Amino acid sequence: MKAISWKLVVVSVVVVTAIILTLPTIKPSLWPHKKINLGLDLQGGMNMRLRVMSQEAVKNRLEQIAQELKSGLKEEKIRYKSIESTEDGRISVIIKGDRYIEDFEPFLEDEYPDLVEVERNISEGTLTLVMGLSEEDIEQRKTWAVEQALETIRNRIDQFGVSEPMIQRQGEETIIVQLPGVKDAERARDLVGKTAMLEFKLVDRVIYSAEDKPSPLPADQEILEGIDGRSYLVYKKSLLTGEYLTEAKVNIDQFNEISVGIEFDKKGARLFEEITGDHVNEPLAIILDNKVQSAPNINEKIAGGKAQVTGSYTMEEAHDLAIVLRAGSLPAPLELENETTVGPSLGADSIHMGLLSIYIGFTLVVIFMVIYYKLSGLVADFALVVNILLIAAGLAAFQATLTLPGIAGIILTIGMAVDANVLIFERIREELALGKTARAAVEAGYSRASLTILDANITTLIAALVLFQFGTGPVKGFAVTLSLGVVSSVFTSLILTRAMFDLYLSKRKVKQLSI
């Protein structure tokens, strides 16, 4: 009687807990945060295959070094004829004058020891030097670019509010992004793919017509388009970038004008104060991805490290801009290689067909068990219902995502759960055929079958866990339901059905089982 009691208590607690956890799926208003999440193939959404143009990260680094070299040589009072990054991924430096060449050599060795000399030519007091990054440094920067892009995209999607997204690296430069439930594909695409390089540059003047364009264009200036439709002649040198950004949020002033307020860290605040102090009464362009967002005039020194990015933004556009600024800029541009959109109707059809397959499989198994094992078959059928309930409860409790392959895992679990009961019932039949009593036959049947059932399910569980660890997307969905199904089927076949047999046999003297 003692053994019966603990089994019944365990069964009761587990079943009640499963019902409580599954209720939100039936009525989400009860506990919305515990509702089963549906995957991309069931609720619709979008799937993007993006390639990180990691070579651009190397190119950007070379351009940065070129700018640093110009600033460094000016500080050291070393004259140069030209410093520029070339199309083939090199930096070309021309130094004229023996004295400047002598000063340049130790400066280069001290400041940029990692640069590899590709070509050197000294003629008539002129040094022409072509340098580049080492192969090791190039590969490291490419790897870093992909890893940083992955993290940046993940941060943006998390702030965008997509439930259960799938963001993972595939191969060397490819990132797969799955966004279940997303209906505005263009907005999501812009949010993920925006480079979000924020820069502050001084403005020379606004260009209103073709006649206003300088010819030739000064080497230290460039023409950028603004979101207001106008063109701006700005200086190439970035006075401040978004790397010092700590906060970005949407603001609405008393005139209902929408803007994005940004804040810098201590170093950025100090630089911003110096910039605004040194350039009072000059226009400063706020540039995002080489497009001028606004170019306000600096009226006074601005302390505190706060600024406003203004423009004709809608609330949604301002919100998305704040997200990409907070999440940081991408280290390299992304190329959209492939995009597929799954509509909600297609997802609904998938759910309908998946559930239909579960109903048909469940019904056929229930009928077979009753016909072949009679009343004992009903015990197995009840265990099967509890088994499915436990899987649903597990999905809700762990906030796992149910996918179409996951439904296939549930169907497979139905067959595996019944298989364990078939093994036990056949053992019981053998014991009854030897003339044992019903109680002794049940005891021997469970005892002899338990080890075999455990062995089979443990090996299946190991395989499911390996699939979950190394699989992607749909494979993980299958592994989740299979793992939950293995655990629940062991419980229902070895503990639940045994408790039911023990309860039945304890209250009456049974000479023969209906099996």
* DSSP string covering 38-67: E-HHHH-EEEEEEEE-HHHHHHHHHHHHHH
Q: Which residue has the tokens 């979000």?
A: 196
- Give the least confident one: 195-204, 371-380, 466-475: 466-475
CA distance 21 to 28: 11
Q: Measured between alpha carbons, how far is residue 259 from residues 296, 307, 312, 480 in Å?
A: 13, 10, 8, 44
pTM: 0.61
3-state secondary structure of 332: coil
Q: Look at residue 294 in the predicted model and tell me its pLDDT.
A: 87
Q: Are strands 401-402 and 37-38 parallel, antiparallel or unpaired?
A: parallel
In the predicted structure, residue 175 carries a pLDDT above the cut 50: yes
More confident residue, 467 or 35: 467
In the predicted structure, residue 370 carries a pLDDT above the cut 80: yes
- Whether 200 and 274 have beta carbons less than 8 Å apart is answered as no
Q: Look at residue 347 in the predicted model and tell me its pLDDT.
A: 59
- Whether 244 and 264 have beta carbons less than 8 Å apart is answered as yes
Q: Look at residue 33 in the predicted model and tell me its pLDDT.
A: 44
In the predicted structure, residue 345 carries a pLDDT above the cut 70: no
Residue in 299, 301, 303, 302 with CA at minimum distance from that of residue 281: 299
Q: Look at residue 344 in the predicted model and tell me its pLDDT.
A: 60
Q: Look at residue 30 in the predicted model and tell me its pLDDT.
A: 40
In the predicted structure, residue 190 carries a pLDDT above the cut 90: no
CA distance 393 to 265: 46
Give DSSP secondary structure letters for 152-193: HHHHHHHHHT-SS-EEEEETTTEEEEEEET---HHHHHHHHH
- Whether 313 and 227 have beta carbons less than 8 Å apart is answered as no
Q: pLDDT tens digits for 215-254?
A: 888 888 899 999 888 999 999 888 888 888 888 899 888 8
Q: Look at residue 3 in the predicted model and tell me its pLDDT.
A: 47
Query: Tokens in use for 268?
Result: 């950025």
Residue in 260, 345, 368 with CA at minimum distance from that of residue 307: 260
Q: Look at residue 304 in the predicted model and tell me its pLDDT.
A: 87
Query: Tokens in use for 269?
Result: 């605040």
More confident residue, 17 or 327: 327
Residue in 150, 184, 180 with CA at minimum distance from that of residue 167: 150
The backbone torsions φ and ψ at residue 238, rounded to the nearest 5 degrees and listed phi first, read -85, 120
Confidence of residue 22 (pLDDT cuts 50, 70, 90): low
In one-letter notation, the amino acid at residue 440 is A
Who contacts 152 (Cβ-Cβ below 8 Å, separation ≥6)? 327, 328, 329, 330, 331
Give 294's strand partners.
286
Q: Look at residue 16 in the predicted model and tell me its pLDDT.
A: 62
CA distance 291 to 456: 62
Q: What is the widest separation between alpha-carbon atoms in the chain?
A: 115
Over 387-434, what HEC string results? HHHHHHHHHHHCCCEECHHHHHHHHHHHHHHHHHHHHHHHHHHHHHHC
Q: How many CA atoms lie within 13 A of 288 on its CB side?
A: 18
Burial pattern 33-46, b for ≥16 Cβ within 10 A else e, equals ebbbbbbbbbbbbb
Q: Look at residue 253 in the predicted model and tell me its pLDDT.
A: 82
Query: Tokens in use for 365?
Result: 């198994």
Mean pLDDT across the chain: 83
